A and B are shown apart, each in its own frame.
Chain A
Amino acid sequence: MSHAHDKTPNNSAAESARETVEPAPAFTPALRKQIEGFLTRYETKRSAILPALHAIQDELGWIANEHIEILDKEFGLHRVQVREALTFYSAYRQKKPRKHTIQFCNNIVCCMVGANEVIDQIKGHIKKYENQGVEPPFSVEGVPCLCVCDGAPAMLVNKDRHLKVTKENIDSILEKYASLPG
Chain B
Amino acid sequence: MGDTLTKVKITTAFEGQPNARALKTYVDQGGYSALKKAFGMQPGQIIDEVKASGLRGRGGAGFPTGMKWSFVPKDDKGAKYIICNNDESEPGTFKDRYITECNPHMIVEGMIIAGFAIGANKGYIYTRYDFFEEIKWLEIAIREAYDAGFLGDNILGSGFKFHLDHYAGAGAYICGEETGLLSSLEGKKGQPKLKPPFPAISGYLHRPTIVNNTETLASVPWIITNGAAAYKTMGTEKSPGTKLFCLSGRVKRPGVFELPLGYPIEKLINEDAGGMLPGYSIKACIPGGSSAPILTADELKGLTLDYEAIADKGSMLGSGAIMLIDNSMSMVELLKVTVDFYHHESCGQCTPCREGTGWLANIMTGIAAGQGKKDDLQRMFEISRNMEGRTICALSDAAAMPTKSIVTKFGAEIADFIERGTRA
Interface residues of A, Cβ cutoff 8 Å to B: 41-51, 53-54, 81, 84-85, 88-92, 103, 106-109, 111-113, 143-150, 152, 156, 159, 161
Question: With a CB–CB cut-off of 8 A, which chain A residues contact B254?
Answer: 149-150, 152
Give the complex CA separation of A179 and B345 in angstroms. Answer: 35
Residue B338 at the A interface, CB < 8 A? Answer: yes
Scoring A54, A88, A143, A156 by chain B CB atoms within 10 A of each residue's CB, the highest score goes to: A88
Decide: B188 and A150 in contact? CB cutoff 8 A.
no
Decide: A148 and B97 in contact? CB cutoff 8 A.
yes
Decide: A85 and B326 in contact? CB cutoff 8 A.
no
14 additional A-B residue pairs with CB within 8 Å, beyond A42-B165, A145-B90: A43-B204, A50-B168, A50-B187, A53-B170, A85-B188, A89-B172, A108-B325, A112-B250, A147-B96, A149-B246, A149-B248, A150-B246, A161-B132, A161-B133
Scoring B255, B321, B337 by chain A CB atoms within 10 A of each residue's CB, the highest score goes to: B337
The 8 Å CB contact of B89, one of A88, A109, A113, A147, is A147
Question: With a CB–CB cut-off of 8 A, which chain A residues contact B198?
Answer: none
Decide: A144 and B246 in contact? CB cutoff 8 A.
no
Question: With a CB–CB cut-off of 8 A, which chain A residues contact B129?
Answer: 54, 91
Give the complex CA separation of A88 and B180 in angstroms. Answer: 12
Give B304-336 interface residues, CB cut-off 8 Å to A. 321, 323, 325-326, 328-329, 333-334
Interchain nearest-CB distance for A113 vs B (Å): 7
Interchain nearest-CB distance for B57 vs A (Å): 18
Interchain nearest-CB distance for B227 vs A (Å): 33
Interchain nearest-CB distance for B405 vs A (Å): 14
Q: Are A109 and B172 also in contact (CB < 8 A) when A47-B185, A147-B128, A150-B256 are? A: no
Decide: B326 and A112 in contact? CB cutoff 8 A.
yes
Interchain nearest-CB distance for A118 vs B (Å): 15
Give the complex CA separation of A117 and B79 in angstroms. Answer: 52
Question: With a CB–CB cut-off of 8 A, which chain A residues contact B290?
Answer: 107-108, 145
Can you pick out 26 interface pairs between chain A and chain B where the beta carbons lie within 8 Å of each other? A42-B165, A42-B187, A43-B79, A43-B205, A44-B187, A47-B186, A50-B170, A51-B168, A85-B170, A88-B190, A88-B347, A89-B171, A89-B172, A92-B171, A109-B92, A111-B329, A112-B325, A112-B326, A144-B341, A145-B89, A145-B93, A145-B341, A149-B254, A149-B321, A149-B323, A150-B255
Question: With a CB–CB cut-off of 8 A, which chain B residues contact A43?
Answer: 79, 122, 204-205
Interchain nearest-CB distance for A139 vs B (Å): 16
The 8 Å CB contact of B341, one of A89, A107, A152, is A107
Decide: B132 and A84 in contact? CB cutoff 8 A.
no
Question: With a CB–CB cut-off of 8 A, which chain A residues contact B190?
Answer: 88-89
Interchain nearest-CB distance for B289 vs A (Å): 9
Residue B189 at the A interface, CB < 8 A? Answer: yes
Decide: B170 and A91 in contact? CB cutoff 8 A.
yes
Decide: A90 and B171 in contact? CB cutoff 8 A.
yes
Smallest CB gap from A78: residue in B: B187
Question: With a CB–CB cut-off of 8 A, which chain A residues contact B184?
Answer: 50
Give the complex CA separation of A44 and B92 in angstroms. Answer: 34
Decide: B186 and A144 in contact? CB cutoff 8 A.
no
Question: With a CB–CB cut-off of 8 A, which chain B residues contact A150?
Answer: 94, 246-248, 254-256
Question: With a CB–CB cut-off of 8 A, which chain B residues contact A156?
Answer: 130
Give B63-86 interface residues, CB cut-off 8 Å to A. 79
Decide: B170 and A92 in contact? CB cutoff 8 A.
yes
Give the complex CA separation of A124 and B416 in angstroms. Answer: 32
Smallest CB gap from A103: residue in B: B130
Question: With a CB–CB cut-off of 8 A, which chain A residues contact B341?
Answer: 107, 144-145
Residue B286 at the A interface, CB < 8 A? Answer: yes
Interchain nearest-CB distance for B348 vs A (Å): 9
Question: With a CB–CB cut-off of 8 A, which chain A residues contact B172?
Answer: 88-90
Q: Are A85 and B337 also in contact (CB < 8 A) when A91-B170, A107-B91, A112-B329 are? A: no
Question: With a CB–CB cut-off of 8 A, which chain A residues contact B328?
Answer: 112
Decide: A147 and B93 in contact? CB cutoff 8 A.
yes
Decide: B170 and A144 in contact? CB cutoff 8 A.
no
Give the complex CA separation of A103 and B128 in angstroms. Answer: 15
Question: With a CB–CB cut-off of 8 A, which chain B residues contact A46?
Answer: 186-188
Question: With a CB–CB cut-off of 8 A, which chain A residues contact B215?
Answer: none
Question: With a CB–CB cut-off of 8 A, which chain B residues contact A89?
Answer: 169-172, 189-190
Smallest CB gap from A106: residue in B: B337
Give the complex CA separation of A90 and B130 in angstroms. Answer: 11
4 closest Cβ contacts across the A-B interface? A89-B170, A91-B171, A149-B248, A46-B187
